[in-house]
Amino acid sequence: MTEMSYLDGNMLDGPLRELFAVDLSAATGRCEACGTTGPMAGLHVYPHAPGLVARCPACQGVMLRLVRTPQRAWLDLRGATYLGIPLPPDQPYPRPL
Amino acid sequence: MSPGFQGRPRSAQPALPPGQYLTEDFPVLSAGPTPKVGPETWEFVVTTEAGAEYRWSWAEFTALPQDTPTVDIHCVTRWSKLGTTWQGVSLDVLLDGVDTGAAYALVHSYGGYSTNLPMADLRGGRAWVVHRYDGGDLPAEHGGPARLLVPHLYFWKSAKWVRGIRLGTTDEPGFWETAGYHDYGDPWREQRYAGD
Ligand SMILES: [Zn+2]
């Protein structure tokens, strides 16, 4: 029985950096199919396909698909309820009186 | 049997669709884990637009009249493989007696994959559900126990681990067709991406 190999979600860092200014490999995501929450870096990414397919490590549901065509990127996140993205603390400044 | 194209004069070699290169091996593409489905649980279901279901068990499917197509296949990731040999059942046989006026088909697979194509492309001796490749059982990594084979379209349309076909009056895009790939996927017109 041959099992297709997959890579961990850290490999999404490069392809997604082309789209987003933030580092999504440190983000957490919630699986729409089973509710499991975990780091994007923990997803199972199947790269030997017409696009990148990132699956929930718990239920194998598709959480993210990324297709890079010559003209644009197609990003499908319908399998992820949310992405939680770490950001630096908000910098309050003195408001005018 | 090896097709042996290397023995032919260069001028007789079949042309490849635009943007494709020739490969001798058979790359394995997969968007997920390989589904484990054995003949004892396998079934193939055609569902019509009226909701009628036509089912075949493994025994019933393999008892149908068999074809042995030898075809060239073209993957959207740019490899083409010539003279591949298969055994399976023509969609003309499977759709014979299915009461439908549907214009579109959505093929679905064990493991959740799907792909869409017009009914016309499933008919006329151009599409099969195959269960043998190159003289042996179809390996699981290439879609066994059975896969769709529609070689005149890009190979993502030839769904691995095929489970059934839903017939409909409207076109419903499948897995890659909803993520930037072309709705029809004719390799000779290089219809790789949406808008091509
Ligand atoms: Zn899940």
* A77–chain B nearest CA distance, Å: 11
- Kindly state whether residue A48 falls inside one of the protein's structural domains: yes
Q: Does B141 touch chain A (CB under 8 A)?
A: yes
Torsion of CA B172, B151, A51, B134, to 10 degrees: 130
Q: What value does the mean pLDDT of chain B take?
A: 94
Is the predicted pLDDT of residue A93 greater than 60, yes or no?
Answer: yes
Q: CA gyration radius for chain B?
A: 16
A24 domain-assigned: no
Q: Is the pLDDT of residue A6 over 50?
A: yes
Q: Is residue A12 part of a domain?
A: no
CB-count exposure of residue B73 (10 Å: 0-12, 13-18, 19+) = buried
The pLDDT-based confidence of A91 (bands split at 50, 70, 90) is low
Q: Which of B29, B179, B194 sits opposite A65 (nearest CB)?
A: B179
Cis, bond preceding A88 (omega within 30 deg of 0)? no
Rg, Å, chain A Cα set: 16
Let me know if residue A1 belongs to a domain: no
- Please check whether residue B19 touches A, CB under 8 A: no
Domain enclosing residue B52, as ranges:
41-189
Q: Identify the pLDDT of residue A24.
A: 84
Taking CB atoms and an 8 Å limit, are A51 and B140 in contact across chains?
Answer: no
Bigger pLDDT: A17 or B112? B112
Residue of A nearest to B193 (CA): A69
Asked whether residue B157 is assigned to any structural domain, the reply reads yes
- Residue A95: pLDDT band (50, 70, 90) is low
Q: Is the peptide bond before B14 cis (omega within 30 degrees of 0)?
A: no
Q: Is residue A41 part of a domain?
A: yes
Asked if the structure places residue B14 within a domain, the reply is no
Residue B1 belongs to a domain: no
Residues of B in contact with A60 (CB under 8 A): 32-33
- Partners of A65 in beta bridges: A53, A76
**Residue A23 belongs to a domain:** no
CA distance A49 to chain B (A): 5
CATH value at residue B110: 3.90.420.10
pLDDT at A38: 96
What is the count of structural domains for chain A?
Answer: 1
Distance A37 CA to ligand 1 centre (A): 8
- Provide the domain count of chain B: 1
Range of the domain at A35: 31-87
List chain B pLDDT tens, one digit each, 196 residues.
Answer: 444 445 544 555 558 999 999 999 999 999 999 999 999 999 999 999 999 999 999 999 999 999 999 999 999 999 999 999 999 999 999 999 999 999 999 999 999 999 999 999 999 999 999 999 999 999 999 999 999 999 999 999 999 999 999 999 999 999 999 999 999 999 999 999 999 9
Residue A22 forms part of a structural domain: no
pLDDT at A18: 86
Which residues from chain B sit within 8 angstroms of residue A51, using beta carbons? Answer: 31, 176, 179-180
Closest residue to A4, CB basis, from B34, B36, B178? B34
Residue B184 lies in a domain: yes
Indicate the residue of B28, B77, B193 with minimum beta-carbon distance to A69. Answer: B193
CB contact under 8 A, A3 and B34: yes
Taking the Cβ of residue B125 and every Cβ of chain A, the question of whether any pair is shorter than 8 Å is answered with no
- Model confidence pLDDT, tens digit, residues A24-48: 878 999 999 999 999 999 999 999 9
Q: How many A from CA of A40 to the centre of ligand 1?
A: 12
Backbone angles phi, psi at B104, to 5 degrees: -130, 155
Residue B11 lies inside a defined structural domain of this protein: no
Which of B76, B178, B195 lies closest to A76 in CB terms?
Answer: B178
E strand map for chain B? 21-22, 43-47, 53-57, 70-74, 79-90, 104-109, 114-118, 128-133, 136-137, 147-149, 162-168
pLDDT given for residue B14 in this prediction: 59
